[in-house]
């Protein structure tokens, strides 16, 4: 049976395995406030946030995209939704002071700091194994969709779907004719963003493994990210 086209395949199923599944970066998803964690290249991590807590995500090299999701801590039925965010803000890229809303149009996170040029993406779906198949990959390739599934599973949080992520630092400009570009990030080494939780939630980060188009820098080389929950 062709798993790509199978009507029986669940969107919660993982297509492969990497250390994300063991939750090695942050067991149980609870970060020690003020402690800087490193998210290795090509992996994901889930972070539990209480309302009012702030999550800082750092781009040490300036070249790495972070696929980013947030879910209501009570269950994945409510999640940060890019289509709802765009309608809520009447723009395609959130900025400092903007609320990021859920599929029920409630604020789940607020962007409170951004030291980068502010180029991010809300249009592009998370990479997955079918995407890498179209790019000529044979066998397994790490991907953001699996990183979400594995990171959530590692802390006992079930997700049934892969919502469109907020692609932090991803540079996909839309031209006047509607064409989408695939360009390196415009972030600088050490740039960071900070989000404040507007409700108890589970945030998930993926250090995007894309190495076939230059969204993770002109060298197409995924690298690590860093994050911390601010005290």
* Cα angle 63, 169, 179; round to 5: 105
pLDDT per residue as tens digits for the range 186-208: 999 999 999 999 999 999 999 99
Give residue 8's pLDDT band: very low, low, confident or very high (50, 70, 90).
low
Place of tokens 């609320």: 99
Task: Classify burial at 204, counting beta carbons within 10 Å of its beta carbon; exposed 0-12, middle 13-18, buried 19 or more.
Answer: buried
Confidence (pLDDT) at 65: 98
Question: How far is it, in rounded angstroms, from Cα 77 to Cα 214?
Answer: 33
User: What per-residue string of b and e applies to 64-84 under the rule 16 or more CB within 10 Å gives b?
Assistant: bbbbbbbbbbeebebbbbbeb
What's the confidence (pLDDT) of residue 1? 37
Other beta carbons within 10 angstroms of residue 21's beta carbon come to: 18
Q: Binning pLDDT at 50, 70 and 90, where does residue 229 land?
A: very high
| Per-residue pLDDT band at 9 (split at 50, 70, 90) | confident
């Amino acid at each position: 049976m062709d798993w790509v086209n199978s009507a029986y395949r669940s969107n919660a199923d993982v297509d492969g395995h990497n250390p994300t599944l063991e939750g090695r970066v942050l067991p149980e998803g609870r970060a020690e406030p003020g402690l800087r964690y490193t998210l290795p290249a090509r992996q994901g991590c889930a972070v539990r946030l209480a309302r009012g807590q702030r999550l800082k995500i750092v781009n040490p090299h300036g070249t790495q995209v972070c696929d980013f999701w947030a879910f209501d801590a009570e269950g994945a039925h409510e999640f940060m939704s890019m289509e709802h965010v765009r309608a809520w803000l009447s723009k395609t890229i959130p900025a400092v002071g903007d609320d990021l809303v859920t599929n029920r149009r409630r604020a789940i996170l607020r962007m409170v700091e951004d030291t980068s040029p502010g180029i991010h993406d809300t249009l592009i779906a998370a990479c997955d194994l079918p995407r890498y198949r179209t790019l000529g990959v044979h066998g397994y390739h790490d991907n953001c969709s699996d990183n979400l599934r594995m990171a959530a599973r590692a802390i006992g949080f079930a997700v049934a779907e892969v919502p469109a992520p907020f692609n932090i630092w991803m540079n996909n400009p839309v031209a006047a004719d509607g064409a989408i570009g695939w360009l390196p990030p415009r972030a600088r080494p050490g740039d960071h963003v900070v989000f404040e939780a507007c409700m108890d939630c589970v945030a998930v980060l993926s250090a995007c493994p894309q190495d076939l188009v230059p969204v993770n820098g002109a060298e197409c080389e995924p690298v690590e990210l860093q994050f911390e929950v601010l005290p």
